Structure 1
Amino acid sequence: MSRLKIAVQKSGRLNQGSIQLLKDCGIVIDNGKDQLKAPARNFPLEILFLRNADIPQYLEDGVADAAIIGENVLIEKPNKAEVVQKLGFSRCRLSLAVPKNVDYAGAEYFEGKKIATSYPYTLQTFLDKKGIKAEIHVISGSVEIAPNIGLADGICDIVSSGSTLFKNGLKEVETLLKSEAVLAKSQKISAEADEILQKLLFRIRAVLEAQNTKYILMNVPNDKIEEVSALLPVLKSPTIMPLKQKGWSSLHTVIKEDTFWEVIDKLKAAGAEGILTIPIGKVVL
């Protein structure tokens, strides 16, 4: 039986989010401690636990059919893998940072300076676009310490909250790119594996849609139903159920998380009362 081979980060920022996403898709994974390969119990899928930096090559060689990986890693190691879905977790940015006491006026500061980074390709691309000549020192880890030990004048590294920069006496001054976890597929994926990937993608999109959606219930005077319904960005149309109290109905629908408060204010102004929200597990469109 054909299986989809999907690579995920062995350890680090993306590992937990990747495994949780697959579990949210109803996929049960039999993985023990220190396993580098684990099959799914109820879906034709096999997980390869790999070093983050190695995943792009596995995709390019076709050893992995697909991967959950940081978009920044694919950009740093360009290959022919195709991003098929952004996943919305492990958001971060690749930024330049300098010591806090530096009077920074712009990217020209880095002219003739030394920059420590684990992302030389992305950094060089940025510098070339700006017409800046700088010396790049490639470091595989603990980049933040470089300015403190005199190795570099600044760094280029992944930033999430910025707390690591702060602890090391650095400040963020330029954002080169924004990144998040993505689902990518190899150009060498077989037709059978691609068919399985599309089934997985269907589940992933249902999970992602639910994460940005709330189910809401509200009581509405019957003479306000049309006005309230017109305010609702629903999948098709709201469900309306009569209440015991004469002249009132219960209206049920879904609403996007990013417009929630704006819409709620309008609903209240239009006469809706007793508004309740319920989390949604999946949204199958």
Structure 2
Amino acid sequence: MSRLKIAIQKSGRLHDKSIELLKDCGVSVQNGKDQLKVRAANFPLDILYLRNSDIPKYLEDGVADIAIVGENLLIEKQKNVSVIRPLGFSKCRVSLAVPKSVSTDDLSYFNGKRIATSYPNTLKRFLDAEGIQANIHQIAGSVEIAPSIGLADGVCDIVSSGSTLFKNGLRETQVILRSEAVLAKAPDLSPEKEAILDKLCFRIDAVLRGKASKYVLLNVPNEKVEAVSALLPVLKSPTILPLAQEGWSSLHTVIGESQFWDVIEELKAAGAEDILVIPIDKIVR
């Protein structure tokens, strides 16, 4: 029987989130110490723990069939792989930053300057598109230290909260691209492996929809049910159940995380009371 091989980061935040997603999808992952390959017990999936920067190449070569990897890395490496879907976690941006002593945010500052980066291809494409002539110094790690030791006049690096830049006396000036973890696949998967991938994606989609939504129960006077219902951004229509107290009903619905607080405020203003909010594990369609 065919088994799908998925590559994930060997260690770090992306590793932890990837394992969490697989477990939420019902995939049993038992990690042995220092194991670089693990076989799922209850799903035809083998997990390969690889160095993050190597994943795009292994994916292109077919050593791995699919991977959970940062989109920024795929853009930098430019391998022949395709993104199946974004996963909504490990969000970051690739940005230019300068020493705090530099007062301008203008991109022209970098003309003729030295920029240290672990993303030379991404940076070069951006600078070429903007007509900026700069000297790119490729560094494998600890990019933020480059200006303070005189190696560069600025940096181009991944930024999440910005705290690492701040601690190293830098500030962000230009965002080159925004990124998050994505599910990517190798070219030319066999029909058998495509079928397994479809099953995995079905589970992933159910988990992601659940994480992006809240289940909401609210009590409403019967004369206000129609007005309150009109405010609800529901999957189909709200469930309406009569309460033991005459003249009142309970409405059950699902609200997207991004809309949640605005909608709740509108519901309160329209007459909803005793609003109960419950996290959703999965939404299967």
Alignment TM-score, normalising by the size of structure 1: 0.98
The CA distance in 2 between the partners of 1:199 and 1:168, in whole Å, is 45
The CA distance in 2 between the partners of 1:169 and 1:17, in whole Å, is 30
Partner residue in 2 for 1:5: 5
Letter in 1 for 2:108: E
The CA distance in 2 between the partners of 1:267 and 1:134, in whole Å, is 54
Letter in 1 for 2:176: L
Contact 1:95 1:157 in 2 (8 A): yes
Deviations 1:246-277 (A, max 9, x none): 11111111111111121112212222111111
Superposition pairs of residues 117-196 of structure 1, within 5 angstroms? 117-196=117-196
1:275 maps onto 2:275 in alignment:
yes
Shift of residue 2, structure 1, vs aligned partner = 0.8
Structure 1 gaps, min length 5: none
Partner residue in 1 for 2:81: 81
1:114 maps onto 2:107 in alignment:
no
Superposition pairs of residues 64-75 of structure 1, within 5 angstroms? 64-75=64-75
Give the CA RMSD over aligned residues.
1.0
The CA distance in 1 between the partners of 2:272 and 2:13, in whole Å, is 42
The CA distance in 1 between the partners of 2:113 and 2:266, in whole Å, is 54
> Which stretch of the first structure deviates more once superposed, 257-266 or 13-22?
257-266
Contact 2:29 2:38 in 1 (8 A): yes
Letter in 2 for 1:107: L
1:25 maps onto 2:25 in alignment:
yes
The CA distance in 2 between the partners of 1:67 and 1:211, in whole Å, is 21
Partner residue in 2 for 1:257: 257
Partner residue in 2 for 1:240: 240
The CA distance in 2 between the partners of 1:103 and 1:266, in whole Å, is 43
Alignment TM-score, normalising by the size of structure 2: 0.98
Deviations 1:193-221 (A, max 9, x none): 11111111111111111111111111111
Deviations 1:56-79 (A, max 9, x none): 111111111100000000000002
The CA distance in 1 between the partners of 2:64 and 2:105, in whole Å, is 45
Superposition pairs of residues 200-211 of structure 1, within 5 angstroms? 200-211=200-211
Contact 1:31 1:39 in 2 (8 A): no
